[in-house]
Every structure is written in C-alpha cells, then in structure tokens.
Chain A
Amino acid sequence: MTSSTETINDGWGPALSDGERLCLRCVAGAMIPASAVLGMPGADDPAIMADMASSVKRDRPALARLLRGIDEAAGGRLADLDAVAASALLDRLRAADPAGFAVAEAVIARAYYRDDRVLMAIGMEPRPPFPKGFRVDEGDWSLLDPVRDRGPIWRASE
C-alpha cells in the first residue's frame, strides 16, 4: 500500500492514500457487488482494486477529492458505517453530486470490465481487440433494393 505522501511520477499528482483506497473499495463494492450466482467478483475484489488504484491517472485528483468528501460526510470513514448506512449515505451523496460520482463510476467501471473473470462471465475473450480483431457479418445487401427503387433524392443546385 502507498502512503498519502507518495507521488506517482506520471504528472497527475499524489497516489491515492491508504484512507482514500479504503473508501474507494467501499464505493466500488456498493456500485458493483459480487454475484455468486453469475460467478462474478465484485468491483471491490483485491485484484481489481489493485489494478484500479495503480492505473487511475487523469481522474486521480478529482477522485481523491471525492473520496475525502465521502469520508468526511460519513463522519470519519465510510468503511466504519454498516452496509445499510453506507448505502444510504452514498445514495444521498450521488444525488447531490452526480458529476463527482461520475468520475468514480468511470474509474471503477474501466477497471472492473477488463478483469479476466468478468470478461469471460459476460461472454468476451479476455484479450485486447488487436491483433485478432472480430468478425462482423456482411449483411443482406438486397435490403437496399427499395431505397434504389425510390430513385434520386438529392437536390440540384442549379
């Protein structure tokens, strides 16, 4: 774990502090909980959290501000509230600051939906698009016949 004074040399400010990471984990778990039925981890899964915390760049300052604000609104730490109270608090804060929470949602979703377990559970191969690419069916070009039959629709300019 990094401390609050650690700086990542990527130009986007200090790393998330231990407290901010703990808060982020609670937010991530509330947003996307695990599903035993579907065999999917929650967004608070340790591997996903580690990926999330280490990869957030341009959103880091705004995310850190949001997380500190959440903890402050929780009277100390969001992690110390029980699940019902934490969920109610997050609902209230999201309604008041949708733009701020959109940053957290982006960070969480982008880390969650690249985890191998998650991708396989939603039917994707766990790989980047390049170089294998994907297949797209050509489609039925005869569908254009009625469009042709109606004739030109462009407007002459002279």
Chain B
Amino acid sequence: MPVTNDPVDVLIIGAGASGAAVAWSLAETRMRIVCLEQGDWQQSSRYPSTGRDWEARQAEDYAIHPNRRAMPADYPVNDDDSPIKIANFNGVGGGTILYAGHFPRMHPSDFRVRSLDGVADDWPIDYATLEPYYALNDRMMGIAALEGDPAYPPKEAVMPPMPLGSTGEMLGRAMNELGWHWWPSDSAITSRDYEGRAACINLGHCGHGCAQGAKASTDVTYWQEAMRARVEVRTKCRVSRIETNDDGMATGAWYFDGDGREVFQPAEIVIMACNGIGTPRILLNSASERFPNGLGNSSGQVGRNLMFHPYALVRGRFDRPLDGYRGSRVFMWSMEFYETDPARDFLRGYCYQFTRGNAPATTALNGLGDGLLPWGEGHHAAFRRLFDHQAGMIAICEDLPEEINRVTLDPSLKDANGIPAPKITYRLSENSQKMLDHSVARGVDILTRAGAKDIITRSPLPYAGWHLMGTARMGNDPRTSVVNAWGRSHDVKNLFIVDGSVFVTSGGVNPTSTIQAIALHVADQIKTRIHDLFD
C-alpha cells in the first residue's frame, strides 16, 4: 500500500548544486521544506584520495559515468545515440561532489545571442539580473579568484586565487608571447580557511570528491546552513512522477524510499532540481490525462534543446618538470576566443581551462592511449619522459540549442524501481565541430609556443557530458518555452525548475555558477511574490 506523508510547503527534488541553493535561500521563510534526494550523504573518509589505491578507486564508486558506477543511487542512462556520454553523480551535493570546481560566470553577451549574433534565442533575464546572485553564490560557495579579469565586468573576489604553480607560469608566459588573454580561474576551492572549511592542500583529486573539504560541494556549503535552518534532506528517495489535481496544480511527488516502498509527498510548491537529464525524465514520466505529453510540456520543449559543452583536449610534453599530479585541477583559464569574431567560420566561442599533469597510472594510461608509451622494454624510459612533464588544456565550447538534441524516456531500459531511464539523442552541430577544430588548432599553437613536444589532441572528448542544459528552457512565450523568467512552469503554476534545464543557451563556460545564481534568483522571486505566486 502506498504511504502518504504529512504535507509540506515546499518540496525540492534533488540535493545537488541548485537544490541546495534554493533550499538555503527559502529557509528564511520558515516554510516547511523537504528535499528528496535519490542518493546519500558522502563520507569524505571514503573518497579515493584517502587510500593508496586512489587512482583505481576513481574508476570505481566515484567514476563519472553513471552506467559504469551503477551504484544503488544511480539510474541507467541510454546514451548510445550520442558521441558525448553523460557524466553525473547522484547523492547530496550531486555533480558538485565530482566537479573540478571550475567556476566561471557566463558573460553578458551569453544572454543576448539572438540580438548580438542572430542565433538561438535571447534569455528573458540578463547578466545584470543575475549579478547579485552570482556574488552571493560566490560568498556561499567560497570562491577563490583574482579581481580585475578583463574578460568580465568588475566583480569581487572572496579569497585569493589558487596557485599558478610552474605549469601556470609556463603557460602564462606562452600566452603573453602570443598576446592572448589568460587569467587565474574562479575556483570553487578554498585557497584559505573559510567558513569552517580548511584550505586546499593540493591533493589534486578534486574530480572524485575532496577529502579535505576545500572544494565547494554543496554538502559542505549550502546544505550545512540550510539544515541548521531546519530544511529536511530525505536521502535514498527516488522520485518517479509529479502528481496534479483537477486545477492543473502540482499536489506533490511520488517516490520510492530506501526500502522500495512507494510514498506520496504532498506539497504546496514543487521545485525540480534534478539536472538537465533528471528533470525532463521526471516531467515526461509524469504524463497523465491532464498532461498527456508530460508535465509542463504544452510547448513540446520538455527534453528538447539538450546542450552539452563539447570538449576538446590538447596535451603536450615538456622537457622541464612541472606540477604534475599536485595541485587543483583548475587554476587558469583563457577567454581569448570566447566572443563571436566575424573572421571565424563559426558563431559564439569557447574558453580554455588549462590543466596540470596527472598521477602515475593516469599518465601511463594516457600515454598508452596516445601512442607515446609502448609495451615492453621501452615502457619505463617513455614513462619517465611523460610523468610530471605534461600540461595542456581543454576547450569548453558553446553548444547552441537544437530541438533534435533531446532527452526522451527509453521504452525498455528502467532503473531499479522500474522508472524508465532517460534516452539521449544528440549530434554535434557543424558550428560546434568548427569551434572544436578551432580550439584544437589554437591549443596546439599555445603548447608549441610553450615548448611542448608530443602534442596530443582529442575532439570531442566522449566521456565529458558533465554540463546538462536546455531541456526545460526559460522564456516569455509559453508556446516556445517551459518556464518563465523566474523559473515557474507556464503550465503548472506551483511547479518551478531551478537546474540547468532552464538554460536558453549554454554559454562557453562551466555552468554551475550560473545554475546556482538562477536558483537563488528563482528563490528570491518566490519570496517576493509569495502572496500572488500562483496568479
């Protein structure tokens, strides 16, 4: 028999980057707020960098691909029909458990791509709307940065940037010789002790959980504050669908608890924070007689316009020893090729995220894959040429929205609770491919100028589908968008979406900063409009 819980005022689905931010912001209202999270709390003592087998464990329980991980918290994803595979993490903190902490804001031009470049659509909000939320989010997450970046309007730094190290110095000199922009990255990593979090000690394993707690995953930032303000996080609870009433309002969500029992959680307000795959999955699975095409989908846009950021990688070998595996994975970016340049054969642009070297097993595996490390007698000498002697960059390319790139429900693949798995259909656009090619060519220029040998390129990176955007887009027109300018569903007036699904365009930077700024913006709108929220 299904169980029905006591009603709550606000039900948040998903405890990742956006769910945490919106929960914290709404907590001051004293409403009863519950967050349902399909995963669990992480224990920093179990993160790979605490053990001698750290590199192996990065490919096991903390692997980035959900189908590889296949933990009880994970749902399968059919991404066979996509050259870019999904990367995520399911648990309190969500993707911030495994992200590297690269934390750029979107640029002012990103919100006006139709007006400026004649492609895609403008956002119904702009940089100025989000600017105070970017700043608030930087303080809540504890962002290390250096003020004065010429690639952005002025913004305050919360603490000093992460160290450049020998890698940053070398690459910075090369960029200066080329006359190209570079700057220390805004990093979601504490360079100093901050709000109870210890400073980074350069473990070099940001991408698989930070044992030091220096990386700003939301389990150690927003959630600690939100729970102190009496928000309840209910873990191991996987939501299957949103229920509605005859008035077309959401009444709550059905979920499976950790014992597999089906439970109904009534709520006055439902907020989706499940990322660009999980949110359309639940909305599409909430189809009913009232909403036959899925909840909030009168526009037909739920699940469509899926955007990743196609990644290219450029890596080189240097004669001098560098930082290698030591230090944060993010430390320096370039926005030289970010804005549209009519002289190029593509619109919009990309940023570079520069990278240090890798730990020994990863160095070896990259070397084997790159053809730089042989089997047999020559292995050891070749390894010593590579280890601690590599550096490079990845390019994060803007992906323009296309309706054919989408999330649907797989007709046969299901998760452990019998909920249909998401099916990804995605192809690289010609514009994205040209941008990738450009980023590879310029990346080779940079490494060549820095003195690199044995330069390797990869484009697109297949296992890099981190950034999941666009599948419930924001807009003023209910015929072409899913939510309005403050995240409320056009169709269901007590249903909100705060994750990357609402992105109109992707920009060419990592999205977490913008996702959280939007979540704080939506939360403020809910608070401001509370007396006529459903009008």
Contact = CB atoms under 8 A, between A and B. Distances in A.
Given A114-B52, A130-B49, A147-B176, A154 B59 contact: no
Interface size range of chain B in the complex: 35 or more
A109 interface: yes
Interface size range of chain A in the complex: 35 or more
A136 B324 CA distance: 10
B335 to A, nearest CB: 7
Contacts of A157: 108-109, 111-112, 115-116, 126-127
Contacts of B369: 102
Given A35-B380, A58-B59, A109 B365 contact: yes
Interface stretch (A15-23, A64-72, A74-82, A137-145): A137-145
Contacts of A131: 50, 201, 211-212
Interface stretch (B146-154, B283-291, B495-503, B523-531): B146-154
Interface stretch (B163-171, B223-231, B240-248, B449-457): B163-171
B68 interface: yes
Nearest to B366: A109
B119 interface: no
A48 interface: no
A147 B49 CA distance: 36
Contacts of A102: 368-369
A157 B340 CA distance: 12
B167 to A, nearest CB: 9
Interface of B: 47, 49-56, 59-60, 63, 68, 70, 107-109, 111-112, 115-116, 126-127, 146, 148, 150-153, 163-166, 168-169, 172-173, 175-176, 179, 181-184, 201-205, 211-212, 323, 325-327, 335-336, 339-340, 359-361, 364-365, 368-369, 375-377, 379-380, 383-384, 387-388
25 contacts: A32-B379, A33-B376, A33-B379, A35-B380, A40-B380, A105-B368, A110-B56, A110-B361, A113-B359, A122-B360, A122-B387, A128-B49, A129-B49, A129-B54, A129-B211, A134-B202, A136-B327, A138-B164, A141-B146, A144-B182, A147-B176, A148-B148, A148-B150, A153-B339, A154-B152
* For the complex of A and B, 6 pairs with smallest distance between CB atoms: A139-B164, A133-B201, A134-B326, A113-B360, A136-B327, A110-B56
